[in-house]
Structure 1
Amino acid sequence: MKDHKASAESPMVEMIKVSKRYPPDINALSNISLSIGRGEMFFIIGRSGAGKTTLLKLISSMEPPTNGLIEVSGHQIHKIKGGKLARLRQKIGVAYQDFKLLTDRTAAENIAISMEVSYKKPQIIQNRVRSLLDQLDLSDKHDSITGELSRGEQQRITLARAVANSPTMVLVDEPTGNLDADTTDRVVKLLNNSHKAGATVVIATHDLTIYRNNSYRIMELKGGAIHSLSGGPRV
């Protein structure tokens, strides 16, 4: 594992006094101020309902904040639109708990999608898909219809799709929830490889086995607010 390099550049993610409320009166996040450096691996922990998934959705612009400022790669992500937003989103790989896979397509087709929108050459896409399936012990599922796979297999396909296009940032929500110890190790290695390649990796998890033995920063959410922030230096 590497520590990301110090940089005078703006952070990958900057959040200032961000809150998110859902009607009628649910405060999912309250007054979150946070900076995540470029190339950093960052863990968000907390119990179910603490606000981890909401935080990731705000960073990826799937949902807007109720209050506050969010910048991603120097852009106020909820104020840019059209082609500029599309290009920024192409640089963000996301793996949520509900997968959002095309269940009538094969595993290979699901992983290839993120590269196809960037007009990668077919041979490059094919090689990358096979490599990712091999890394996640899914080589035999290349041509399997995704909707017929187990939840654990679908989860791995989602992760492979998130990192396939070598994004500058990867957002991952509970990546090991349906996995055994051996498969968890494979997933952690995949995310570490993406981090070593220079990506900012943000992982929301309750699985302490994937963060307890490293020096990366760990932020704990409790009731939608930052309860603690600990770990190695950010820069």
Structure 2
Amino acid sequence: MIEMIKVSKIYPPDVTALSDVSVTIGRGEMFFVIGMSGAGKTTLLKLLCSMETPTNGLIEVAGKPIHKMKGSALARLRQKIGVAYQDFKLLDDRTTAENIAISMEVSYKKPDIIRKRVIDLLEQLNLSDKHDTITGELSRGEQQRVALARAVANSPTLILVDEPTGNLDAITTERVMKLLNKCNTSGATVIIATHDGSIYRNTPHRVMELSRGRMHAMHGGESV
């Protein structure tokens, strides 16, 4: 699903966010990118959905060089990518349900299908009572879950999640991971950037650590 070859990202004037990162992530894989704040995790996700372009290197998503794509070709590929941003990027003056429905509306899903999917996701994330609440009035933890629901609503083939559990308690964290595991079991490739050890500590999935812009394989929770 993803091929990154010797990818570097330097922000002006000379801040190196990523340095020579090469990684292959298989279709249908769940993959954890861990590391401290400022390690380059968010930059990595932004490169994978073409919000940023690499300074050097090659990035392929589903066999296509996403960093070179533009216009309608890029828009079509992005419809298959769901992103839950760390700063949520919600429409603060719209309801929770409207925010989640947006990704399905742009791909012309039928209104009754959208309605059912929104209700189902709100239930899974314990937000059923927030269906008609304006998102600007929600707590940060609630906004975080709405951002996640919006990212997965359209059943994308690639899901990118940035710090999904940062504002959540243990029970809600479990709900979030259950939903992401469900998406993964249904065939989606899921990439989670996190520094929350509770969600990857005993995972059977691959974990790689970003440190000072470089990627290191992890084995048994230790960097190798």
Does the pair score TM above 0.5? yes
Q: TM-score, normalised on structure 1?
A: 0.92
Q: Give the SS at the match of 2:59.
A: strand
CA RMSD, 1 decimal:
0.8
- Does residue 89 of structure 2 align to residue 110 of structure 1? no
Q: Give the match for residue 140 of structure 1.
A: 129
Q: Give the SS at the match of 1:212.
A: coil
Question: What are structure 2's unaligned runs of at least 5 residues?
Answer: none
Question: 1:82-121, aligned counterparts within 5 Å?
Answer: 82-121=71-110
Q: Give the match for residue 160 of structure 1.
A: 149
% identical equivalent positions: 75
What CA deviation, in whole Å up to 9, does each residue of 1:65-99 have, x standing for no partner? Answer: 00000000000001122111111000000001110
1:230 offset after TM fit, Å? 4.2
Q: Give the match for residue 27 of structure 2.
A: 38
Distance between the aligned counterparts of 1:114 and 1:89, measured in 2? 11
Question: 1:130-209, aligned counterparts within 5 Å?
Answer: 130-209=119-198
Paired residue type of 2:48: I
Paired residue type of 2:76: R
Question: 1:12-31, aligned counterparts within 5 Å?
Answer: 12-31=1-20
1:127 offset after TM fit, Å? 0.1
- Does residue 58 of structure 2 align to residue 69 of structure 1? yes
Question: How many residue pairs get matched?
Answer: 220
Q: Give the match for residue 220 of structure 1.
A: 209
Distance between the aligned counterparts of 1:123 and 1:226, measured in 2? 44
Q: Give the SS at the match of 2:114.
A: helix
Distance between the aligned counterparts of 1:206 and 1:118, measured in 2? 33
Q: Which runs of 4+ in 1 moved over 2 A?
A: 227-231
Say which of 79, 82, 97 aligns to 2:68: 79
Q: Give the SS at the match of 1:227.
A: strand
Paired residue type of 2:59: I
Q: TM-score, normalised on structure 2?
A: 0.97
